[in-house]
Amino acid sequence: MKGMVVGAVISRRRFVLVGLGIGSTAGAFAVPAGAVATPSPTTATLWRLSADWGYPAGPKGRTRCRGRACHLHAANKIYATETDALAGRLHICCVAQPVSFEVPIEVHNELSNLPPSPGPALGDRRHDEVAQALERAALAAHESSRLAALPSRPPAALASTGSSAAMLTGGGLALGAVGATALVIARRNGEQPEPA
């Protein structure tokens, strides 16, 4: 009878050690509580060229383009990717630098559905359809920034719910340390854990 009790105690210890090991592993890789799938994007990145970029570029270390044509071209062309913007430079010696900007996804889709521009450009600001789409994007950005700038009450302190990834990882590591300590104590007491 006494052997059964000792066997039951070892089984419980083994159960606790295995449970702590599994708990620490699951805690380290767990998804934070309340996490949801990322929503579809609301903005898209477009590119333009900057004829006055302000830092040394190219073999001569220029910081801006000298020609009027370069400045007009850079001010009006819009590109879908950085590579397209680089390919859209006006001439072979041009070192105008690509610059990204954000537009609402609806504006990006509208620009993508317009008849194609010659060359790698997605659109030209001098065309009415492109200008109108970009004006809507600017108005939307202005409206959202105005709403974001409205004064509001300071946010109340949020209670710590334990749902952050750092807290879960810390908890998992702590459980792993407790399990390792329990295993060391069991070995020092001369008890051999059962093989897995």
CB 47 within 8 A of CB 82: yes
| Token digits of residue 130 | 């492109």
Predicted local confidence at residue 170, as pLDDT:
66
Q: Is residue 137 part of a domain?
A: yes
State residue 189 phi and psi, 5-degree precision: -80, 0
Q: Count the Cβ atoms, other than its own, within 10 Å of residue 79.
A: 23
The structural domain count of the chain equals 1
In percent, how much of the chain has pLDDT > 90?
7
Per-residue model confidence as pLDDT tens digits over 172-195: 677 777 777 777 777 777 766 566
In percent, how much of the chain has pLDDT > 70?
59
> What's the number of CA atoms in the CB half-sphere (13 Å) around residue 10?
14
Q: Is residue 85 part of a domain?
A: yes
Domain that holds residue 97: 43-147
Among 114-118, 133-137, 143-147, which stretch is predicted with the lowest mean pLDDT? 143-147
Predicted local confidence at residue 97, as pLDDT:
92
CB 85 within 8 A of CB 49: yes
Pairing of strands 77-78, 123-124: antiparallel
* pLDDT at 95 > cutoff 70: yes
